[in-house]
């Protein structure tokens, strides 16, 4: 039987990229990836345990498999694997192996054992000695690439499982990051996203000793890399030199994701976020003082233990003050082993109410801000196609989704995926823009990327 695998990924971009690493590793071993579980000899689930819902999704997926797996190998990877370990076998006895997010380097050894017929194989060490040089990564998209620059997390936010699932913080040597970036550039990638749970806490461990801002400068200078993003930044480590690097390098995107979690200093203290509302707002002022307009997005948790109505109102007023382009908001979800899970909880209905209020509040902000963009030109990197609407799906440098048509037939029959296009915005909603392909305006310093030159 040919060696085939199916992989489903839950969770954040770090998990998405880990799945690309796993795919590379498996393909080197003679496996090939198939698009549905039915066709596959091995089923892999790369899991997330950030909130209870995410974890439940994984367990219900595993429970649903029970009757169907006959003869297939099942592996659980990622954060649930790391956090729940061998308990997974009790929940889902048809699982053959679990391999945590910090143990991917031992995946080949795990597979040796599974292929030899062993069951209940585990790889759960928080292997902090890994080099970041994964021999082969099979990326999902041929134009946009993630690069891990820092793994794990040393912050101690009282609600969060990540330090348990991904282990302590460790940065990757700058030379290794640059090698991967240059290689991607040579292979035609034009967008790079630097990844880390606290990406801006990056400190080069090699004698070169680069700061995060220096790394941004060096990646930003690669001539054929048109867009550089980085996520996720932690406000406590957001230093002015990062904004200066953005000012210096046009390829650093006009977008920063800076999770605030709450607008109330009291709640931030309970969360151990290590900054106050005012300190956070000083970071925002710094970003608003940049040469270009940097759009901002954030994460918010409502109903953290002890959050009062007044605290919650402070979060709403922070939204008014910052005017984010987008907000990811969540109800606080108690996680096993974290300090906040032991604190007095806000009732579930109250959390649900606050979430709705917050989302409606932010929806109005986004609607107003997106409406102001109608009539203008935006550059979109095309990521997909909605055949049904005859639309291309792109993303602007400010990380807005921009769906557009080509009414004048400027692109002909060309597949625009991976191309940069100039688009005239014609309409907008709270979460995306709509537009029409316009004449391309070439930008100095970049060659051969626009569809019309």
Tell me which of ligand SAH, ligand F3S, ligand SF4, none is bound by residue 48, counting a contact when its beta carbon lies within the kind-specific cut-off of 5 to 8 angstroms. Answer: ligand F3S
Positive/negative CA dihedral, 416, 230, 314, 292: negative
Per CB under 6 A, 262 contacts ligand SAH: no
Please give the residues from 67 up to 126 whose contact with ligand F3S meets the rule CB under 6 A: 78-79
Tell me which of ligand F3S, ligand SF4, ligand SAH, none is bound by residue 15, counting a contact when its beta carbon lies within the kind-specific cut-off of 5 to 8 angstroms. Answer: ligand F3S
Strand, coil or helix: what is 137?
Answer: coil
Of the candidate residues 103, 171, 201, 261, the single one contacting ligand SAH (CB under 6 A):
261
Look-up of token digits 């940069």? 420
Per CB under 6 A, 12 contacts ligand F3S: yes
For ligand F3S, which is the closer residue by CB, 92 or 162? 162
- Contacts (Cβ under 8 Å, ≥6 apart) of 17: 137, 146, 148, 195
Compute the least distance from the CB of residue 197 to ligand F3S, in Å: 6
Please give the residues from 187 up to 246 whose contact with ligand SAH meets the rule CB under 6 A: 197-198, 232, 234
DSSP label at residue 201: G
Distances (CA, A) of 49 to 107, 160, 178: 20, 10, 31
- Contacts (Cβ under 8 Å, ≥6 apart) of 326: 297, 366, 399, 431
Peptide bond into 128 cis (omega under 30): no
Contact (Cβ atoms closer than 8 angstroms) between residue 220 and residue 251: yes
Per CB under 6 A, 50 contacts ligand SAH: yes
Compute the least distance from the CB of residue 17 to ligand F3S, in Å: 10
Compute the least distance from the CB of residue 103 to ligand F3S, in Å: 14
379, two tokens: 């550059």
Strand, coil or helix: what is 122?
Answer: strand
Tell me which of ligand F3S, ligand SAH, ligand SF4, none is bound by residue 231, counting a contact when its beta carbon lies within the kind-specific cut-off of 5 to 8 angstroms. Answer: none
The secondary structure element, H or E, covering residue 191 is strand 191-195
Of the candidate residues 266, 299, 313, 350, the single one contacting ligand SAH (CB under 6 A):
299
Contact (Cβ atoms closer than 8 angstroms) between residue 399 and residue 297: yes
Contact (Cβ atoms closer than 8 angstroms) between residue 106 and residue 127: yes
The pattern of x and - marking residues 122 through 161 that bind ligand SAH according to CB under 6 A reads -------------------------------------xx-
The secondary structure element, H or E, covering residue 242 is helix 240-248
CA distance 59 to 46: 12
Per CB under 6 A, 393 contacts ligand SAH: no
The pattern of x and - marking residues 20 through 59 that bind ligand F3S according to CB under 6 A reads ----------------------------xxx---------
Options 158-166, 186-194, 268-276, 410-418: segment touching ligand F3S (CB under 6 A): 158-166
For ligand SF4, which is the closer residue by CB, 141 or 155? 155
Of the candidate residues 76, 107, 162, 195, the single one contacting ligand F3S (CB under 6 A):
162
Burial group, residue 304, by CB count within 10 angstroms (0-12, 13-18, 19+):
buried
Compute the least distance from the CB of residue 19 to ligand F3S, in Å: 10
Tell me which of ligand SAH, ligand SF4, ligand F3S, none is bound by residue 163, counting a contact when its beta carbon lies within the kind-specific cut-off of 5 to 8 angstroms. Answer: ligand SF4
């Amino acid at each position: 039987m040919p060696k085939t695998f199916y992989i489903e990924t839950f969770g954040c971009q770090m998990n998405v990229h880990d799945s690309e690493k796993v795919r590379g590793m498996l393909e080197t071993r003679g496996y090939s990836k198939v698009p549905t579980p039915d066709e596959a000899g091995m089923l892999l689930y790369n899991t997330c345990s950030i909130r209870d819902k995410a974890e439940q999704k994984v367990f219900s997926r595993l429970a649903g498999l029970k009757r169907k797996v006959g003869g297939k190998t099942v592996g659980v990877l990622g954060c649930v694997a790391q956090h729940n370990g061998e308990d997974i076998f009790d929940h889902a006895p048809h699982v053959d192996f679990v391999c945590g997010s910090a143990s991917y380097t031992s995946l080949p050894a795990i597979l040796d054992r599974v292929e030899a017929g062993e069951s209940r194989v585990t790889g759960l060490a928080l292997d902090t000695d890994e080099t970041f040089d994964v021999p082969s990564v099979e990326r999902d998209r041929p134009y946009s690439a993630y690069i891990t620059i820092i793994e794990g997390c040393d912050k101690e936010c009282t609600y969060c499982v990540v330090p348990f699932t991904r282990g302590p913080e460790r940065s990757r040597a700058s030379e290794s990051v640059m090698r991967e970036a240059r290689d991607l550039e040579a292979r035609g990638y034009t967008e790079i996203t630097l990844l880390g749970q606290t990406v801006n806490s990056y400190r080069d461990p090699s004698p070169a000793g680069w700061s995060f801002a220096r790394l941004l400068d060096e990646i930003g200078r690669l001539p054929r890399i048109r867009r550089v993003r980085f996520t996720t930044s932690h406000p406590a480590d957001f230093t002015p030199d990062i904004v200066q690097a953005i000012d210096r390098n046009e390829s650093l995107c006009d977008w920063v994701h800076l999770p605030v979690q709450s607008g109330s200093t009291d709640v931030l203290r309970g969360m151990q976020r290590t900054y106050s509302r005012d300190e956070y707002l000083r970071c925002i002022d710094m970003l608003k003082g940049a040469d270009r307009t940097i759009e901002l997005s954030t994460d918010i948790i409502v109903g953290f233990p002890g959050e009062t109505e007044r605290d919650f109102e402070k979060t709403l007023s922070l939204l008014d003050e910052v005017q984010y382009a987008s907000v990811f908001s969540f109800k606080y979800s108690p996680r096993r082993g974290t300090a906040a899970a032991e604190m007095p909880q806000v009732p579930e209905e109250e959390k649900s109410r606050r979430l709705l209020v917050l989302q409606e509040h932010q929806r109005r902000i986004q609607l107003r801000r997106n409406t102001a963009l109608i009539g203008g030109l935006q550059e979109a990197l095309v990521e997909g196609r909605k055949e049904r609407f005859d639309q291309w799906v792109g993303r602007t440098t400010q990380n807005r989704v921009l769906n557009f048509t080509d009414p004048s037939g400027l692109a002909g029959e060309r597949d625009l995926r991976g191309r940069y296009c100039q688009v005239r915005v014609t309409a907008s909603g709270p979460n995306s823009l709509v537009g029409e392909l316009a004449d391309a305006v070439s930008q100095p310093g970049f060659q051969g990327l626009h569809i019309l030159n």
